[in-house]
Amino acid sequence: MDSRPAFAPQKFSVGKGDPQMAIKTRITELLGIEHPVVQGGMMWVGRAELASAVSNAGGLGILTALTQPSPDALRAEVDRMRTMTDKPFAVNLTLLPSTNPPPYAEYRKAIIDSGVKIVETAGYKPQEHVDELKAHGIKVIHKCTAVRHALSAERMGVDAISIDGYECAGHPGEDDIPGLILIPAAADKVKIPMLASGGFGDGRGLAAALALGAEGINMGTRFCATQEAPIHDNIKQFIVANDERATNIIFRKFRNTARVAKNAISDEVVEILARPESVFTDIQPLVSGVRGRETLESGRVEDGIVWAGQVQGLIHDVPTCAELVHRIVAEAEGIIHGRLAGMLD
């Protein structure tokens, strides 16, 4: 007999047609936010303009630490954020294996010194950072792509996890498990609150995530196609025009699988990496972070890598963050209280 604990759905309350409706979960309580909607920590995109708009809409906006060129620049961005919102927000600190890594400890100190209350960690061996952040009373969400990694993060002492399915933009791990399986598989075993990430863009996704055992959603690509996202409008319209098939998987041969939007550059990367003799230096100029940033800023969509997930097929407009968050919550409330409840005999 399987001895694993059965998942017991968490209780959540939903307003009934009231403009002040709210879906309350352990995530909203933990983070002090109105709605269980979190903005992903995206390189070059997670700036104060976007993060403050998400927080002001009742979700959790996230600044991306390494978007800033130095720890002092991060301090300045946190200060700027506080002039734009008085609501809870977080900072993302992504840790990647590298022969020449950024000064992670200095970025961490900048976060602590700035009085940030919530941090999203992601990536390689976060224990040192989790310990130090927790010692300063900071709530930590760890982003991961597998149940085993989620359990490891829980043992490290993080307060919540964000579980990232294969549909996601960025790095979905090497197991290729989609959210429909990964989210409930994690919910069966993880005791701390959990965000569902990868493939979410509307109220149907939020309602589904809650049904699968998550307590909120984390969205990256969807927030790129908002008015406040600090990227060129051509990129936003590119995302709107794309469908769910318009992504490429790259870097698999290096066990660093990534999902990006399909364009001339990512097609070229796929073609090069299909050659048995190819090595990373063959594609390095095409995938450089500087080139990707220039693409986001210039709007020349075929010039560099654009990170985007399969959720592109569900994105049809470029609303404000407030319009988007409120729409998602209203749609989810309507599904939970209306359509699903109406199916009960």
Measure the N-to-C terminal CA separation of the chain; round to a whole number of Å: 33
Mean pLDDT, all residues of the chain? 94
Please give the Cα distance from 121 to 100 (Å, whole number): 19
Helices (H), the chain: 26-31, 48-56, 71-82, 104-113, 127-135, 147-156, 179-187, 203-212, 221-224, 233-241, 264-273, 284-287, 289-298, 321-334, 341-342
Measured N-to-C along each axis, helices 127-135 and 104-113 cross at an angle, to the nearest 10 degrees, of 20
180-189 confidence digits (pLDDT tens): 999 999 999 9
Tell me the C-alpha to C-alpha distance, in Å, between residue 43 and each of 25, 69, 79, 190. 28, 12, 19, 28
What pTM was estimated for this model as a whole?
0.93
Residue 5 has what pLDDT?
42
Residue 4 has what pLDDT?
40
CB 174 within 8 A of CB 148: no
What is the domain partition of the chain in residue ranges? 20-229+317-342, 233-311
Nearest to 16 by CA among 303, 344, 251, 333: 333
Nearest to 283 by CA among 44, 292, 299, 188: 292
What are the φ/ψ torsions at residue 77 (nearest 5 degrees)?
A: -70, -40
Q: Which amino acid would we find at residue 285?
A: P
CB 216 within 8 A of CB 282: no
Residue 21 has what pLDDT?
62
Nearest to 43 by CA among 173, 230, 168: 230
Nearest to 192 by CA among 226, 236, 142: 142
Give the total residue count for the chain.
345
What residues of the chain score a pLDDT lower than 50? Answer: 1-19
Domain at 20-229+317-342: CATH architecture: Alpha-Beta Barrel (3.20)
233-265 confidence digits (pLDDT tens): 999 999 999 999 999 999 999 999 999 999 999
CB 55 within 8 A of CB 66: no
Distance of CA 304 to the CA centre of its chain: 21
Sign of CA dihedral 324, 325, 326, 329: positive
- Tokens standing for 107? 């970025």
Give the number of C-alpha atoms closer than 13 A to the C-alpha of residue 123, restricted to the C-beta side: 17
Nearest to 63 by CA among 30, 29, 91, 103: 91
